[in-house]
């Protein structure tokens, strides 16, 4: 009898798994892949059989018991179509290993939800360095090697230093404000400098200093911690941070990226009213005909761990979608290699800027790039220059993305306006860039918070390549990122190196230079 019952239960479980599209995908991924599917089914059946000898209710309804056993918040996860023909490269194994490690803890704690979402989006998070972050999936030495390698490649070497004259001006304003316990004289000093011919190149910097003083003067309670409960994240966002960002590229309030919406619709084809991430900040390049996303941001008013982790997971995935959108626009390979999507995460009067890069085939990486801290009083005004420098870096990256988009659009318009188009002559195809094969989908939570309908993205582990990708010049790839925006480059973009000259625009090395040797 026991043997017959065991066989009936196994058949019931197999039928249920086929009907729900293998809703035990989460547990399947934990074991490691399709080759262990049979082992998993046997393990589940054996576990059910042993449990049934104690629980008579499960003995009468084994399918119901199985549903209870796998009723996790993010299940069922369907359509994990890993292609067995895709070779397990070192990068692919790293991405798979990281993703697989998330499943074991999804139901035990709130924190792994952020790991779950970024892992299923093929993204390695180097922003959260706690032991409960993605570091827990690696040996300590292994994690340190991965982190140091990727940080060396993608952490920005460009420091947008505030000009010395502006830094000196801020020191004077800080001293005047501390002496008078007010801002009137400091504001008057800025007004005088704006009319001085020698300060004409620094007007945009002086205006930012003026805005800072106005915020501190007009919103004293907003800067005090004891009044935090009276304000929302949008108060901090709108009254403090937005004035420091170039508003020509920004839409504030909760906004939705069209690329995220399209990706989510592909993941949940049978659902209605599908919308992408609701993001507090979207940075837009507006061509008057179309809007292109170049950055994203999330805001919170207090240092609440759950809220910050949720926001981090969301803004990383949104930034990945922004990067994917940029990769779908540009055509030249050298531009695609240097693309990145930048975002800002704000918590009250503090914040952090970071970036997302497509590092390898099938693996994105999120990199911390700088900290923001708005002065809370006259006593802390002197530290504002560091925040100002980080903000300048952030804005410069958004502008670079806008320039890349403008260049790509101009290329397409140039092709459409050629004489060959008029005479209906065939035009050469655009080859595109190899990173289109590296891209992976983004995981989105199911519509209307219906967690039982959660699905894995299609082609999570990529498609079989139709051509062999050429080996990338190791020096060109690494050095181009390192020297891309070095301040010691001359006006034409040439940087002197021991083995020759590197140009930050063409991203190439040369032993010949336009200057005559001295």
HEC states along 125-144? ECCCCCCCCHHHHCCHHHHH
Please, are residues 387 and 162 in contact by the beta-carbon 8 Å criterion? no
Is the residue at 199 inside a domain?
A: no
Cross-strand pairs, 365? 124, 357
30 falls within a domain: yes
Residue 480 belongs to a domain: yes
**Which pLDDT value is given to residue 367?**
95
CB 137, CB 97: distance < 8 Å: yes
> Which residue intervals of 224-378 are DSSP H helices?
233-236, 258-267, 305-329, 333-338
3-state secondary structure of 371: strand
Residue 503 domain-assigned (yes or no): yes
H/E run at residue 375: none
Q: What is the pLDDT of residue 57?
A: 43
Q: Is residue 342 part of a domain?
A: no
Final residue belonging to a domain, choices 71, 97, 124: 71
* 424 domain residue, yes or no: no
**Beta pairing class for 341-347 and 291-300:** parallel
Instruction: Tell me whether residue 518 is exposed, middle or buried, using C-beta atoms within 10 angstroms of its C-beta: 0 to 12, 13 to 18, 19 or more.
Output: exposed
38: containing domain? 1-71
Q: Which of 31, 50, 71 is the last residue of a domain?
A: 71
- Regions of the chain where pLDDT drops below 50: 1, 21-37, 40, 44, 47-87, 90, 102-108, 247-277, 466-478, 480-481, 483-484, 516, 518
pTM value > 0.95: no
In a domain, 146, yes or no: no
Does 179 fall in a domain? no
What is the predicted pLDDT for the residue at 322?
92
| Boundary of a domain, candidates 12, 45, 71 | 71
Helix (H) or strand (E) run with residue 421 in it? helix 419-422
Number of structural domains found in the chain:
2
């Amino acid at each position: 009898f026991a043997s017959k019952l065991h066989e009936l239960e196994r058949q019931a479980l197999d039928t249920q798994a086929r009907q729900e599209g293998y809703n035990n995908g989460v547990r399947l991924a934990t074991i490691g892949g399709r080759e262990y599917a049979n082992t998993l089914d046997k393990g589940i059946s054996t576990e059910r059989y042993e449990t049934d000898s104690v629980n008579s209710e499960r003995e009468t309804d084994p399918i119901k018991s199985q549903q209870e056993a796998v009723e996790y918040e993010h299940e069922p996860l369907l359509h994990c179509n890993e292609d067995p023909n895709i070779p397990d490269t070192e990068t692919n194994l790293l991405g798979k290993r990281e993703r697989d490690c998330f499943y074991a803890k999804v139901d035990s704690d709130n924190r792994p939800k952020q790991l779950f979402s970024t892992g299923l989006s093929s993204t390695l998070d180097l922003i959260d360095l706690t032991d409960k972050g993605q570091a827990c999936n690696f040996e300590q030495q292994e994690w340190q090697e991965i982190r140091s390698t990727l940080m060396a490649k993608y952490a920005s070497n460009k420091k947008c230093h505030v000009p010395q004259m502006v830094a000196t001006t801020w020191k004077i304003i800080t001293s005047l404000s501390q002496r008078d316990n007010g801002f009137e004289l400091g504001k008057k000093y800025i007004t005088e400098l704006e009319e001085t011919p020698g300060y004409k190149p620094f007007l945009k910097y002086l205006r930012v200093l003026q805005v800072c003083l106005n915020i501190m003067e007009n919103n004293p309670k907003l800067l005090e911690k004891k009044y935090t409960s009276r304000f929302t994240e949008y108060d901090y966002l709108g009254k403090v941070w937005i004035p420091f960002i170039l508003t020509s590229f920004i839409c504030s309030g909760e906004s939705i990226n069209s690329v995220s919406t399209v990706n989510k619709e592909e993941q949940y084809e049978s659902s209605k009213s599908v919308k992408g991430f609701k993001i507090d900040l979207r940075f837009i390049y507006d061509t008057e005909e179309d809007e292109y996303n170049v950055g994203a941001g999330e805001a919170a008013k207090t240092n609440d761990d759950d809220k910050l982790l949720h926001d981090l997971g969301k803004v990383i995935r949104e930034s990945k979608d922004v990067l994917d959108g940029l990769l779908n626009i540009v055509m030249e390979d050298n531009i695609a290699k240097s693309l990145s999507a930048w975002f800002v995460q704000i918590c009250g009067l503090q914040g952090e800027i970071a970036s997302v890069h497509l590092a390898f085939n099938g693996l994105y990486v999120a990199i911390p790039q700088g900290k923001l801290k708005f002065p809370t009083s006259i006593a802390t005004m002197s530290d504002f220059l560091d925040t100002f420098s980080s903000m300048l870096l952030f804005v410069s990256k958004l502008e670079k993305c806008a320039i890349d988009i403008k260049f790509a659009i101009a290329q397409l318009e140039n092709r459409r306006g050629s004489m060959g188009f008029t005479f209906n002559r065939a035009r050469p195809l655009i080859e595109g860039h190899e990173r289109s094969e590296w891209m992976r989908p983004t995981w989105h939570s199911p519509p209307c918070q219906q967690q039982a309908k959660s699905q894995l993205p299609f082609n999570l582990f990529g498609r079989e390549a139709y051509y062999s990708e050429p080996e990338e010049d190791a020096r060109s790839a690494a050095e181009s990122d390192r020297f891309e925006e070095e301040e010691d480059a001359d006006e034409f973009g040439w940087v002197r190196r021991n083995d020759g000259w590197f140009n930050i625009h063409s991203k190439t090395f040369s032993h010949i230079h336009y200057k005559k040797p001295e």
